[in-house]
């Protein structure tokens, strides 16, 4: 068996370009639906066959899946991980000072995936900025 020294060398060029362009992207969802002094609440909607942009997690957070489907995660270190999701799946993540995770999620199933992510603003790291256009517009 051959060992690949750089697993990212096997990635498609557009995935490598997205990582380079978005490695400091603080948008951990499709839309920021709520923000207080304590939390940011995001929704991530991934239609079948679509992938979200790479983004950086620096805050403690949890996500919950609201649908059934299959996701492929691309990680900054080159790992690719496929996961079957079910409604109610929840995972908690914590990051110490200076720690982070950069990844992208692709829906490789045949049904839309919907996640809610809650970030805790009182984490060890400062929150990354998010642009106004990702915030839910209320009339």
Q: What is the average pLDDT value for the chain, to the nearest integer? A: 95
* pLDDT of the residue at 7: 85
pTM: 0.93
| Range of lowest pLDDT (4-8, 21-25, 47-51) | 4-8
Count of all residues that appear for the chain in the document? 139
Nearest CA to 130 among 121, 10, 83? Answer: 121
> What DSSP element (H or E) covers 63?
strand 61-65
- Token pair belonging to 20: 């380079």
Fold for the domain defined by 7-125: Jelly Rolls (2.60.120)
Tell me the C-alpha distance between 62 and 47, whole Å: 21
Confidence band (pLDDT; 50, 70, 90) for 137? confident
Yes or no: say if 26 and 14 are a contact pair by the CB < 8 Å rule.
no
| Range of lowest pLDDT (9-13, 70-74, 95-99, 128-132) | 9-13
């Amino acid at each position: 068996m051959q060992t690949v020294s750089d697993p990212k060398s096997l990635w498609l060029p557009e995935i490598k370009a997205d990582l380079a362009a978005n490695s400091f992207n603080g948008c951990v969802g499709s839309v920021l639906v709520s923000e207080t002094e304590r939390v940011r609440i995001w929704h991530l909607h991934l239609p079948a066959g679509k992938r979200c942009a790479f983004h950086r997690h620096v805050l403690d957070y949890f996500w919950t899946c609201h649908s059934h489907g299959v996701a492929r995660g691309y990680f900054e270190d080159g790992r690719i991980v496929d996961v079957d999701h079910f409604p109610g799946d929840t995972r908690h993540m914590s990051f110490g000072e200076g720690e982070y995770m950069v990844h992208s999620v692709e829906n490789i199933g045949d049904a839309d995936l919907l996640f809610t992510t809650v970030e805790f603003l009182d984490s060890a790291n400062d929150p990354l900025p998010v642009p106004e256009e990702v915030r839910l517009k209320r009339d």
